[in-house]
Homo-oligomer: A and B are copies of this chain.
């Protein structure tokens, strides 16, 4: 496995691979890799002739009071994991190379960035869109792979790649879960054992909504009530939002249907977790 830190080196290498006709697959990550990332890498591996994984904890997507500094970092573990996953190139640029002195350019995907997680995390999706655009321009993949867990992020990235004619296929793969249903996340390691147990209620509440939907309940208000009703069994879980939305516009719907997305965010102790399902 080749490890590249330098942006120009990565870009030139990618252009060379393209020139050789290699199909480049790309999995951008913030490191602290877990089974969810491994699942992305495995599927990207199958779909690519050359697989690039990046590890970059992106300061631009963290708010001033958020956990940029504390965000889990495990370079040694990550390198081991990427080797296991048969990654061809691990790209690990430095923050000062990605955002050098004088850096000024940001991308906004309007409308989609201010709802849901965007309400409590102003600037978050601007940071996400910007770093993804930069990484796609450096790595020049044919396909880029993202987890469905960050649903809003995937919608914004799809929209951006289309609007900006990036010519990259955005592949979104299902959320990988722990045995009790908790969506895998690097932030799960913040949870103490008690909160970790409580956290399973998030997915259970989504399952409860799905079960109501399957029984014929299509009212978004009723489905939201099913979520709230389930969550109240774990008072330590503070719901931030439960959104029942159109899968592309992220607009709230009154009647859920095939393809509607139910997404939730909640605070457990000092940890913020998100999850979602597609009906």
List the interface of chain A (C-beta within 8 A of B): 7, 11, 15, 19, 102-112, 129, 133-134, 137-138, 159-160, 163-167, 248-249
In the A-B complex, the 7 residue pairs with the closest CB atoms: A105-B163, A137-B165, A104-B110, A138-B165, A105-B160, A105-B109, A104-B109
Main secondary structure of the interface of A (DSSP, over half): mixed
Give 27 A-B contacts (CB < 8 Å), ordered by A residue.
A7-B165, A11-B165, A11-B167, A19-B19, A102-B248, A102-B249, A103-B163, A104-B109, A104-B111, A105-B107, A105-B108, A105-B109, A105-B110, A105-B159, A105-B160, A105-B163, A106-B107, A106-B110, A107-B107, A108-B108, A133-B164, A134-B163, A134-B165, A137-B164, A137-B165, A137-B167, A138-B165
Copies in the complex: 2
Asked if residues B164 and A134 are in contact (CB atoms below 8 Å), the reply is yes
Q: How far is the CB of A100 from chain B (nearest CB, A)?
A: 9
In the assembled complex, which residues on chain B have CB atoms less than 8 Å from the CB atom of A105?
107-110, 129, 159-160, 163-164
Contacting residues, chain B, for A160 (C-beta < 8 A)? 105
Q: How far is the CA of A248 from the CA of B101 in the complex (A)?
A: 13
CA distance A15 to B18 in the complex (A): 10
Q: Closest chain B residue to A167 by CB distance?
A: B11
Which one of B102, B106, B163 lies within 8 Å of A104 (CB-CB)? B163
Distance to closest chain B CB from A19 (angstroms): 7
Complex CA–CA separation, A7 to B163 (angstroms): 12
A166: B residues at CB distance < 8 A: 137
- Within the complex, what minimum Cβ distance (angstroms) separates A21 from chain B? 8
Q: Using Cβ atoms and an 8 Å threshold, which residues of chain B touch A134?
A: 163-165
**Complex Cα spacing A166 to B136, Å:** 10
Interfacial chain B residues near A108, Cβ < 8 Å: 105-108
Chain B contacts for A164, CB-based, 8 A: 105, 133-134, 137
Q: How far is the CB of A162 from chain B (nearest CB, A)?
A: 8
Distance between A95 CB and nearest chain B CB, rounded to angstroms: 14
A189 smallest CB distance to B (angstroms): 32
Kindly report which residue of chain B lies nearest to residue A249, judged by CB atoms.
Answer: B102
Query: In whole angstroms, how far apart are the Cα atoms of A107 and B160 in the complex?
Result: 11
Q: Which residues of B contact A112 (CB under 8 A)?
A: 104
Residues from chain B with a CB closer than 8 A to the CB of A103 are 163
